Each structure stands twice: as structure tokens, then as C-alpha cells.
Structure 1
Amino acid sequence: MNAALRHEAIPWPTRRSPRPRYIMIKPPPGPAREIGALSARPAELLHVTVRPLGDAALFDAGAEARLLRALDAFRAPPFRVVFDRLHGSGETLSLRGSRVMEGARRFERRLVETLTHRVGMPRYRFAPHLTLAYGHTVRRNEHIDAVSWLVEEYLLVESVYGEGRHVLLGRWPLVGA
């Protein structure tokens, strides 16, 4: 394993990281429109972070190649996500589920197991949510009509801080284990 990709060597991707990379899922057009009614964020930025990977600068050519090979080899079945809670923490406003999303958790655990053995992984507590807004928000936790979709692909994305855009680096279908 590349020393630059050990758990303790990868800093937490924050808004200060200029180009953090993530494994994420994004809603398809129908659910994205529903979510868009609750968010001022552009539809193309709506996502659920499955795993932060660290800043792009941490990936030399060898680490990048190992990551892409691992993602190419990874297999998992599609799963459903259901968001039926509007949660405001004071710092963010997000959609969350009132029930554990077992399919999403299985997907994340299998992905982490695969990537840890091949490229290393930063520590991260996966709690499926979709952020609608950053900054000062009202504290709340209320039921909403469910927004749900069958997740049929996952993405490798580089977020460009300060520009409000995602650069798609790879897309993989969920086709079964």
C-alpha cells in the first residue's frame, strides 16, 4: 500500500481542501427535481457521499491507477435509498431517512473492505444523507413525503472548492455481487 494512502496520512476532506475526491451516489432526474424543490443547490451538485478519499494532490499516478483498478473490479447489487426526514443542524440542512438504509450500508461496507485492501481509506462514519444547504440553518427534524430511488450506479468525483462544481472521474454500474 502506498504510504501516502494510509489511514492516518489522508487528511479529512474539508471545504479547505481545494480538490477533494469522493465516492458518491447522485439522484436520477425525477428525484433530483423533487429534491430541487427543497434546495437552492444546483441539481448536478445533489449527492450522497459514500466515502471521502482525500484531496486530489494525494493521488500520484500509481495510487490513482490502483484506485481505478479496485473500482473497476468492485461488484455490488443496486439498492434503494429513502429520505423522509428534513434535518437542520444549525450548520447544514439535509435529507435523512427515518429507517436504517441497509442496502446503502452493505454497499458502503463492501466498498470500504475492497478499497482498504487495495489503496487504504481515510476514517469516515457513513450516515446516508443528502445536504441541501450549508451555513446557518434552523434546527429541525421533521417528517416529509419520502424521496426515494433505486441506486444503480456510483461515481468517483472530484469537487472543485470555490467553483461549485463536480468533475466526474468515473462511473460504475451496480450489477450484483
Structure 2
Amino acid sequence: MHEQLWFSGFEPKPPRHSLFFGLLAPTDSATIITKAADDLRHGFGLDGRLIAPERLHVSLHAIGGFDCLPNFIIEKAYEAGSMVSASRFSLIFDSVVSFDNNRAKRPFVFLPGYDLARLFALHDVLGKAMKRARMGRYPRSRFTPHMTLLYDSRMVAARPIKPIGMEVYDFVLVDSLVGQSRYIELARWPLQA
């Protein structure tokens, strides 16, 4: 059995963790979304790499970035998630746009339209639960729901697309391993039928 040897001063940095609550696209929706995103990427002449289907999501609340996972934060997040009572709903993505984030690579995203009342209700209820769980920092009340498809240097102005639906049955607590393009699902809470 071989072990990797590291020279002093050249040890690999531990992965940076970014924790968030979000809505992961179910497998069937992720397949459809990925195909549509690839078609749009080619249609707009974008060359950014598509987000992997298993990482397609709509963020609800960011928790923070950490060099190592703090157990007390995860426990508080679990407590907050367990307090949430909300109903299932559907999201309909009906437009695309690039967000101008003043970086070289800008997020190219799907935007949901139609009835967003249940999405905003979930965001609000979860934010209040985070406060009750005393998570340390209060969640942002401003919320622009979107699903990032890829990052690209080119800007795409807002445009309508053929609507793409996604059923939302639950929400998750995710540990995003920054720089590794990998998510670890830490907890999942079902929404009411």
C-alpha cells in the first residue's frame, strides 16, 4: 500500500467548506435542466463548463465559509431545519440572464417565474428558524431565487425561455467543498404534501 508523502511546507490545504440551505434539483429535473443549459450555452456562444447535474440547486440561505466544519454550526443548522414547516411546490424556470458580479466569470442562471409565494414563504420560515436557533449571523432578507448553470466571461441579457419545471419536495443542508466541485448533503427535510 502506497501513501502520499508531503514535504514540510507543501502539505495540501484542507478543503474550504461553504455551508448553505438549498433546493437540489431532483434527478429527472436535473437531466432536463442540463440538456436545456447545454443547448443555451451553444446558442449564446458560451464556453463555460456546465454545473454538474447533481449540484444544480437554488440557494435558500448561505450559512458561511469555514476551513473546517464546526460541529456547533452544523447542530444549529440542523435545529433550524427541523423547525421548518412548509408546503411542497413547483418552480417554473422561464428566463435566463447573466449576473454581473464584477468578476471575470459571471454566473449564467435560470430565473423562476410564475407563482413564487411558496418559495418565498420557505425562505422566510427558514430564515426565522435560523434566528431562533441562534446561528450567529442573521440570514439575509433579500432573496433573488435562481439556479446557476455555468460561469462565463460573456454577459447574456435577460431572455425568456421555454418553461422548465422542477418539483420541490424537500430542502437540504449542503457542505460545498470549494474548489472540488463537490457537494456533501448533511441533512434533508421533507416539505408537507
TM-score by length of 1: 0.81
- 2:163 aligned with 1:111: no
What is the CA RMSD across the aligned residues, in angstroms?
A: 2.1
Match of 1:147 in 2: 164
Letter in 2 for 1:93: F
SS in 2 for 1:175: coil
How far off is 1:58 after superposition? 8.0
Shift of 1:99: 3.7
The change in CA–CA distance for 1:41 and 1:67 in structure 2 (over 3 A counts) is closer
The unaligned stretches of length 5 or more in structure 2 are 1-14, 39-49, 101-105
- The percentage of counterpart residues that share the same residue type is 22
The CA distance in 2 between the partners of 1:89 and 1:123, in whole Å, is 18
Larger Cα-atom Rg: 2
Aligned partner of 1:127 among 144, 152, 162:
144
| TM-score of the pair, normalised by structure 2 | 0.75
Q: Which residues of 2 match residues 13-52 of structure 1 at below 5 A?
A: 18-37=16-35, 38-39=37-38, 40-52=50-62
Trace 1:56-71 onto structure 2 (pairs within 5 A): 56-57=66-67, 60-71=70-81
Kept after mapping to 2: 8 A contact 1:67/1:119? no
Give the Cα–Cα distance (whole angstroms) in 1 for the partners of residues 144 and 87 of structure 2.
19
Instruction: Name the SS of the counterpart of 2:82 in structure 1.
Output: helix
Gaps of 5+ in 1: 1-16
Counterpart of 2:182 in structure 1 is 165
Provide runs of 4+ in structure 1 moved above 3 Å: 56-63
**Residue 54 to residue 124, structure 1, CA distance change in 2 (3 Å):** farther
Q: Structure 2: how far apart are the matches of 1:102 and 1:137? A: 32
- Residue aligned with 1:119, SS: coil
Count of residues in correspondence between the two structures: 160
- 1:137 is aligned to 2:154: yes
Whole-Å separation in 2 of the counterparts to 1:88 and 1:70: 32
Deviations 1:88-138 (A, max 9, x none): 235221000244511100110011011112123343621110001113133
Return the alpha-carbon distance in structure 2 between the equivalents of residues 101 and 58 of structure 1: 35
C-alpha distance in 2 between matches for 1:86 and 1:65: 36
